[in-house]
């Protein structure tokens, strides 16, 4: 299949690599020429612009850092919508606000383009291993088209509903994730301060009603879960800056919808304070440091 | 075994009933004479005071509403410590602050009594079915003595460490539980407000990093988990007033330890506001009502 | 003086009226033709577009609801910058985020236009009475030009620094105002719940370290300050929706700057919840209702 | 007048000194013998216990660190109530929870003693200068008796209502103070981060709706108010640990009354985090450090 792929950063590059491995013909664009060269060696073809890439694809995939990039990559003069042929399916895998996802899709629809959103979870590790989860907002027909391709980059391909719902699913999940992680940090640090063994405490929580992914799989207290970032100095994993970005998207979407998210807003502030302290580069579970003695 | 059992409320009465069924000789005390009469019909013997009950037991078990009751039941003139024989093991199953648990145990130790704490989770349903979890703070020797008896009232008997750690485990778990539940409520309500199907959203969360007991087993959104209180008008379950009590214990213990619990304190406030609105009698998952349109 | 005035809503219309009274020649634009007709009767001249108005003014003043309107009024094809002559001073009195203020000013500067920001406080009452406070972000030269004109609409004309600082001053003040108001609400309601006379409590606070404008001038408890909205059913005054808008601007600007505003974020959430309950049309001091029995 | 004075710490000692200067006969007790010796040199008479002091006074004044001390000083075997003659007026100037104030007063009333509460504000400086504010909870008759004596230690003697209301007034004021101070810290730090001159910003706030004691008299930003602790490295003033104590009393009283204090609870947490960072010995305005770059 001829695929246009725009955005080859920490996530996009390994995703494109998996598509090349699967035998597709890729037309690639990014501002970073080094990564373009690397992917060209693997058989990818270098495009001169998002427009140029889109013009040569039977499917367009984009993976960008934020909403502003998505807007310009699709809507600029040399953007995707300037080159794409009517009827070509497209999907944006960036994590952005649901409203922008809908706006861009509406702009595409005017040209006869069915554009969906499919943000991912799983991090750079999942992108490399091809085990990402894709949360897809798309028409049923578009979802059917996208699914086999996304399966070459991920393991779980979930249809969330119409366009925008992929973004909604992701920010709602990550809102809860940010809150849960801080909750685990507070519970573990309180237990430690009061004098219970933290391993025993984690064991009790994990077999009780406090059980959650942040406790049983990714516990922020060092030494509880061997494979978690907490047990290797909070390196790797899901960076605090990315959590801060997602909590920003969630609180902003909540503001637009006049929907209170009280704990979510406090969580966002606590990650902002962590970033201010200079710890934004650590895994997001390092929020526990704010509670440790 | 001859067991003194003091405190026969919603939890204590079914626990005592299970011990009677198991063949023990129970010496019972409570201010409520109706429940005493009921248990006497099942073979229990009525004592005239905590002291009287304690004097006739080879083991003392207490199950009381709050720290003030525990203090008076143990320390008053006609209290447990006035009647108990040196060397008799004792355990308090009430949920109270860890410091009071340690204080009472220290007072008991002066008389040669080994007193542990063993707060429970599982609610009145677990008490009736004999499937409670006991979080036990006790010396290894006392734990060994208590375990077979507690197993006649519960399924999981966990040794958390020395006296007081049972309480610590319980309040840390419930601190996290209160935070998680509000987190799930905020995430579900935000998703609903933004336009995703709540069943789809719950499915994604439950197979992703937001996964937690409050989402996959006890989801606060009506219709998501059939067996959850949300699907039967928030009746039964774990009352909001009890959650408020436990969050109060957690924030108070944190204050004593100078340990921040920022989300925990906000969670406590949100349950306080729920109580003020008159919803304290509902299941604690009804906190979601504060977020629904 | 020939003044172009764009944006004639609840604030802009009375401001324009004051300029007409002061003898200026006004070229007016708004989408609302009723208000245009009213001001035409008072001697104003109706323009066909922001461009048309700007073309005829020796000074341009705009007063719009939000950043999106400011962008389009200045930057659209028939916008202010399409009509204004080089060298014409301009000022935007809208309350928007500082970054947009700077962006629009930078766009104007490319055409040789010195554009400042001058958000106001004082509400519709102050706009009618000509007693507004203007917080001006502008070059010293522009400030000198604007001051005499702004004095015909307001009483305090404060130079805050370069462009954007007017907005910064306003959102920082209103961030503190929102927090203080909730603080007063919590203190008064707590005192009431604990059993002190609220009039006595307010008197003590107002002569002590809790003293603030929200307590001594605008107390949210009914009957404390006769002239405050609380004493007339929370009608009039500064609407809760406007406070919510300003807290939204403050938390968003904080997010851009990676600056924590923890209480500010919680305050924003509490106003969001108030809006969700349908009380957004009341004066912002009605937040106290969330705390009353 | 013969006055029994118990509790001669940082506050009590200078208060007692002012009463000695005013010519009263003082019967003094404290566990610290050094301060007793110092006051004996100034003419005070040393008592052997609170009971002994109380037995020799026509008025009893106590000034203690916390509720536990108040309980033991009044209720112990050698406490005030064991020595005081029926009909002797008494006042406790400690800052404690309103319920304990009421409980002790009720215990005193059983012996025919009229005991009021009169917590102070003004700090050690006010105690030395005799310029304290006394917030008095007492019967009208007791207030009339106390007023002339309290005026020898303070400047403002405010009758707040019946016993307990002095404590209520103080904790409500300090709840608001803690919230306001953090509000000012957030507003000043946000303004600084966004690029406005902090002196200009403070000036605008102080003549606008954000105006409060924490901004115009005690601004936490260095260099704004010359006489404020912020301008001398946060030394002296009102220690963060004392603010944390008062916020603890306020949130605890709120919990007893089922009264939400959402911002108050967050403020308490932020002071707890400040204490954990080791800054509890600084003036409470140093909370701004958590927001500075």
Q: What is the pLDDT of residues C255-268, one digit of tens each?
A: 999 999 999 999 99
C193 — contact with chain B (CB < 8 Å)?
A: no
Residue B250 pLDDT > 90: yes
A276 — contact with chain D (CB < 8 Å)?
A: yes
C191-231 pLDDT, tens digit each: 999 999 999 999 999 999 999 999 999 999 999 999 999 99
Same domain, A32 and A14: yes
The four Cα atoms B199, B203, B205, B209 give a dihedral, to 10 degrees, of 180
| Average pLDDT of span C271-276 | 94
**Number of independent structural domains in chain C:** 2
Given B252, B265, B275, which is nearest D265 (Cβ)?
B265
Residues of chain A below pLDDT 50: none
A278 — contact with chain D (CB < 8 Å)?
A: no
C128-177 pLDDT, tens digit each: 999 999 999 999 999 999 999 999 999 999 999 999 999 999 999 999 99
Alpha-carbon gap: D171 to the closest alpha carbon of chain B (Å): 17
Same domain, D132 and D201: no
Alpha-carbon gap: B273 to the closest alpha carbon of chain C (Å): 8
C214 — contact with chain D (CB < 8 Å)?
A: yes
From chain D, the residues in CB contact with C201 under 8 A are: 160, 168-169, 172
B222 — contact with chain A (CB < 8 Å)?
A: no
Residue C108 pLDDT > 90: yes
Q: Say if residues C27 and C3 touch (Cβ distance below 8 Å).
A: yes
Same domain, C145 and C179: no
**List of residues 6+ apart from D79 with CB closer than 8 A:** D49, D50, D51, D72, D73
C71-80 pLDDT, tens digit each: 999 999 999 9
Q: CA–CA separation, B156 vs B159, rounded Å?
A: 10
- Residues of D with a catalytic annotation lie at 170
| Average pLDDT of span C180-200 | 98
Say whether D273 and B262 touch across the interface (CB within 8 A). Answer: yes
Q: Say if residues B238 and B284 touch (Cβ distance below 8 Å).
A: yes
- Decide which of C161, C186, C218 is a domain's last residue: C161
Say whether B273 and D265 touch across the interface (CB within 8 A). Answer: no
D: neighbours with 3+ CB pairs under 8 Å? A, B, C
- Residues of C with a catalytic annotation lie at 170
Residues of chain D below pLDDT 50: none
- Alpha carbon D95 to its chain centroid, in Å, reads 5
| Average pLDDT of span C121-128 | 91
From chain C, the residues in CB contact with A261 under 8 A are: 269
Beta-bridge partners for C90: C60, C115
B107 — contact with chain C (CB < 8 Å)?
A: no
| Average pLDDT of span C49-63 | 98
Mean pLDDT of chain B: 96
B254 — contact with chain D (CB < 8 Å)?
A: yes
Beta-bridge partners for A158: A135
Same domain, A63 and A184: no
Same domain, A93 and A63: yes
Domain range for A272: 168-291
| Annotated active-site residue in B21, B110, B170, B255 | B170
Is residue C36 within a helix (H) or strand (E), and if so which, with residue range?
helix C33-41
Compare all CA atoms of chain D with the CA of A290 and give the residue at the minimum distance. D273
From chain C, the residues in CB contact with B276 under 8 A are: 293
How many CA atoms lie less than 13 Å away from B13 in the CB half-sphere?
18
B: neighbours with 3+ CB pairs under 8 Å? A, C, D
Nearest Cα to Cα of residue C115 among C260, C255, C201, C6: C6
A122 — contact with chain B (CB < 8 Å)?
A: no
Same domain, B118 and B222: no
- Decide which of A146, A163, A180 is a domain's last residue: A163
pLDDT > 90 in chain D, percent: 97
Is residue A288 within a helix (H) or strand (E), and if so which, with residue range?
none
- Give the other-Cβ count within 10 Å of B227's Cβ: 9
C110 — contact with chain B (CB < 8 Å)?
A: no
Same domain, A175 and A158: no
Say whether B272 and D255 touch across the interface (CB within 8 A). Answer: yes
| Average pLDDT of span C74-100 | 97
Hey, what are A18's tokens?
Answer: 């998996």
Alpha-carbon gap: D262 to the closest alpha carbon of chain A (Å): 10
From chain A, the residues in CB contact with D276 under 8 A are: 293
Catalytic-residue membership of B170: yes
B126-182 pLDDT, tens digit each: 999 999 999 999 999 999 999 999 999 999 999 999 999 999 999 999 999 999 999
| pLDDT on residue D293 | 83
Given D273, D276, D293, which is nearest A276 (Cβ)?
D293
Label residue B237 by pLDDT band (50, 70, 90): confident
Is C38 buried (19+), middle (13-18) or exposed (0-12) by CB count in 10 A?
middle
Rg (CA), chain D: 20
**List of residues 6+ apart from B37 with CB closer than 8 A:** none
Compare all CA atoms of chain D with the CA of C214 and give the residue at the minimum distance. D209
Identify the CATH number of the domain in which residue D265 sits: 1.10.1040.10
Hey, what are D280's tokens?
Answer: 């509890």
Query: pTM of the predicted model, to two decimals?
Result: 0.94
| pLDDT on residue C66 | 95
Say whether A265 and C260 touch across the interface (CB within 8 A). Answer: no
C266 — contact with chain B (CB < 8 Å)?
A: yes
Same domain, A172 and A159: no
Beta-bridge partners for B60: B4, B90
- Alpha carbon C189 to its chain centroid, in Å, reads 29
pLDDT > 90 in chain C, percent: 97
Q: CA–CA separation, A169 vs C11, rounded Å?
A: 40
Mean pLDDT of chain C: 96
Alpha-carbon gap: A60 to the closest alpha carbon of chain C (Å): 31
- Decide which of A112, A129, A163 is a domain's last residue: A163
Given C252, C265, C276, which is nearest A269 (Cβ)?
C265
**List of residues 6+ apart from B136 with CB closer than 8 A:** B91, B116, B117, B118, B143, B146, B147, B150, B157, B158, B159, B160, B166
Pairing verdict, β C132-137 and C120-121: antiparallel
Q: Please give the backbone phi and psi of residue D109, each rounded to the nearest 5 degrees, phi first.
A: -60, -35
Given D252, D258, D269, which is nearest B265 (Cβ)?
D269
Hey, what are C241's tokens?
Answer: 């929706």
From chain A, the residues in CB contact with B98 under 8 A are: 194-195
Mean pLDDT of chain D: 96
Same domain, A11 and A155: yes
Same domain, B148 and B188: no
Same domain, D15 and D100: yes
Same domain, C129 and C268: no
Number of inter-chain CB pairs under 8 A, B vs D: 48
Q: CA–CA separation, B227 vs D6, rounded Å?
A: 61
Identify the CATH number of the domain in which residue A139 sits: 3.40.50.720
Say whether B180 and A262 touch across the interface (CB within 8 A). Answer: no
């Amino acid at each position: 299949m001829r695929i246009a792929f725009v955005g080859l950063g920490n996530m996009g590059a390994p995703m494109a690599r998996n598509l090349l491995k699967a035998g597709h013909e890729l037309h690639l664009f990014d501002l970073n020429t080094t990564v373009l060269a690397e992917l060209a060696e693997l058989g990818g073809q270098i495009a001169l612009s998002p427009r140029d890439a889109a013009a040569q694809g039977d499917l367009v995939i984009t993976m960008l850092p934020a909403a502003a990039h998505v807007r310009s990559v699709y809507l600029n003069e040399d953007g995707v919508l300037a080159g794409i042929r009517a009827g070509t399916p497209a999907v944006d895998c960036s994590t952005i606000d649901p409203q922008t996802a809908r706006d861009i899709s509406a702009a595409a629809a005017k040209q006869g383009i069915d554009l969906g959103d499919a943000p991912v979870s799983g991090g750079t590790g999942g992108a490399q291993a091809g085990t990402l989860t894709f949360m897809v907002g798309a028409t049923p027909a578009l979802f059917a088209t996208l699914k086999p391709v996304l399966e070459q980059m991920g393991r779980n391909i979930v249809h969330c509903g119409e366009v925008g719902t992929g973004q909604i699913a992701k920010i709602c999940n990550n809102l809860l994730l940010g809150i849960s992680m801080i909750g685990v940090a507070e519970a573990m640090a309180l237990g430690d301060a009061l004098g219970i063994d933290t391993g025993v405490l984690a064991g009790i929580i994990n077999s009780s009603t406090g059980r959650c992914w942040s406790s049983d799989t990714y516990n922020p207290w060092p030494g509880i879960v061997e494979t978690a970032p907490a047990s290797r100095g909070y390196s790797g994993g899901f960076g605090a800056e990315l959590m801060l970005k997602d909590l920003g998207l969630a609180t902003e979407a909540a503001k637009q919808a006049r929907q209170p998210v009280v704990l979510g807003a406090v969580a966002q502030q606590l990650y902002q304070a962590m970033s201010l302290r200079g710890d934004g580069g650590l895994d997001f579970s390092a929020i526990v440091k704010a509670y440790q003695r």
